Structure formats: structure tokens, C-alpha cells
Amino acid sequence: MYQSKLNLVDTEIAIKKLKTIFESHLINQLNLLRVSAPLFLEAETGLNDNLGGTELPVTFNSMTGQKLEIVQSLAKWKRFALYKYKIQKKAGIYTDMNAIRPNEEVDPIHSIYVDQWDWEKVIALEDRTIDKLQSVVKSIYNAILQTETELNKKYTQLKSKLPTEITFITSQELEDMFPKLTPKQREYEITRMHKAVFLIGVGGILKSGKIHDKRASDYDDWSLNGDILFYHEPLNIALEMSSMGIRVDAETMRSQLISAGNEDRMELDFHKMILNDVLPLSIGGGIGQSRLSMFLLEKAHIGEVQVSVWCEETIRECARDSIFLL
């Protein structure tokens, strides 16, 4: 039977400690500058993330008549920010991203409120490789490992959950390994086996003719991206901690937009800047703040580490199971 290792007050204190510790390690590992982030964006710029292409953002009109969208993620905005702030190669930015995803199906690990550390780094053309991707993943993983170690010293009731190294596997290798399983079932099996996994190549078509999972066609290069997955014992699941990748160049974006049937997006300002090689080449991603808190504090529901809205049935079930929602 589940029992939280921290009460409500200790949980709130631990969340603050965790975030402070992790941010300091992330900055040092990736050489990042903190910047301010928008809560809403002009719809016509194309800077808002349309995620898998079917999720609709919250929209409203400002007093000046501009059509604005509440952020779904900052995947595209960050790359524009690198250009605006004239960030040099091997350096980058990060920010606190707070988003609303109204179409999200809520459950113990999903909420309509999303909070992430969103980061982006400038890279050179020769860095658009799997080796570079894996190197950055290892840096992020080291920051998480260091955070776990420091947090567990402060809260001795918590245990070490992560191996010393993260395992790398491609989505095609994973399909070959478990051809009869669904993508989510494959993620569970490989993550339960290794505890920490980076799954490379999400969004492109596999040998089976299917994709592992949907990814927007206009920011990640589907062959140079992936997800950080941790085995989360309280729920016995593979918990996605981060989606990240090397971003599209002009050729890759054009190809992926055509493949996804999104050619109309080439007329948006952001997309024109990529097609005309105005924006810098980059690598970036988002790291879930509530997800990392949930994992490191060994929580069974995301509502234990963030404030959101839940239906009455969920509230009753959580109370029954000794899950105390913030």
C-alpha cells in the first residue's frame, strides 16, 4: 500500500530544494543563461508548439485585437530567443515554462498544467550527430544524478533509484526487440530492465510502417531526438522525464512538414526563418519540473507535487489511497 515518505509541508520544502539544486547543476552541465519566458504568443508567428498537431491551444484576443495563444511549450520560441539574444556556439538559455494543455487526458502523471525547465543551446553544423545528442543527454543525466544524491542526504527516507549510467537504444532497436508489443509496452519493458533509458528517434516511420510516437514536424529532427525515461516504482511505469533533440535544419524541416501534411506552416514567420537559414542550429528540450519532483520524491500522483484541477472521482480515489493532493 502506498504511503508518501514526506508530509505536505515537507513535500513543499523538498520541491523547492530539489528545483534549486537541479537548476544549478543543469546550468553548469550545459552552460546556460536564464531568460524570461512568455505565457502567451501571437498565433500568426508560428512560435507556439502545436505538439502532435491535434492539440488545440487556449486562445484569446487582446485589447489591441491580436489573437494570442497560451503557451503549450516553448520549443520554437527558445530557438528564436537564441537568435534574438545573439547566443554564441556552445552556450544556451533556459527558462521556467508554464503551459496549459486543455486537451490533455489527465491521470496520475498528466495534468492540464505543465511546468518544465525549457532549455536550448547553439550548436555547429558538425554537431548534428547522434554522438552530440548522447553527450548532452549524459550531461542532463549527471545533473539529475547529482540532484538525487544531494536530496537523499537531506531526506534519508528517500532511496537511490537511478543507475550510474543511462542506457541508449533507438526506437527501431526497441521495436525489433519487442515486435508484438505496443510502443508504450516496449518503453515499460526496456525501462524496467535498465531503470534509466534514452530512446533515440521518435516521430519517424519504423520498419513496421508505424511511428513510435507523435512529434511535431517543425522543431525536432526525428532521427536526432528522443526521450529520457525512468522506471517509477510507485506506479510501476516508465515515466518520461524529458523530450529533447537536435532541431531541424531547413532541409529536414521541409521534408518533415511534407511528410506530416503540414506544408502550410512554411508560410509562418518562424518557419521562414529556418528555411532561409536565419535561425541558429540548435539542440534543446524540456525537463518536467513536476515529473522530476514526482520521481525523486517517490510520489504516486503528479497532484502531490503541483496544484491543478481534478475531477471529484480522482479526488475521492486519491483520498482513499492516502494520496494527498496539493
Q: Given 4, 72, 171, 243, which residue is catalytic? A: 243
Could you identify the residue written with the cell 508505424?
210
Q: Given 118, 187, 240, 298, which residue is catalytic? A: 240
Q: Is 240 a catalytic residue?
A: yes
Cα distance between residue 79 and residue 75, in whole Å: 7
Q: Is 247 a catalytic residue?
A: no
Q: Given 127, 227, 298, 304, which residue is catalytic? A: 227
Cα distance between residue 225 and residue 219, in whole Å: 10
Q: Given 4, 73, 111, 116, which residue is catalytic? A: 116
Q: Is 213 a catalytic residue?
A: no
Q: Is 101 a catalytic residue?
A: yes
The grid coordinates listed for 244 are 529533447
Q: Given 4, 79, 101, 120, which residue is catalytic? A: 101
Q: Within 13 Å of residue 124, how many CA atoms lie on the same side as its CB?
A: 4
Q: Given 49, 115, 118, 187, which residue is catalytic? A: 49
Torsion (CA) 110, 196, 253, 131 in degrees, nearest 10: 160
Cα distance between residue 62 and residue 264, in whole Å: 25
- The partner residues of 297 in beta bridges, in order of sequence, read none
Q: Is 243 a catalytic residue?
A: yes
Cα distance between residue 298 and residue 104, in whole Å: 23
Q: Is 256 a catalytic residue?
A: no
Q: Which residues are catalytic?
A: 49, 101, 116, 227, 240, 243
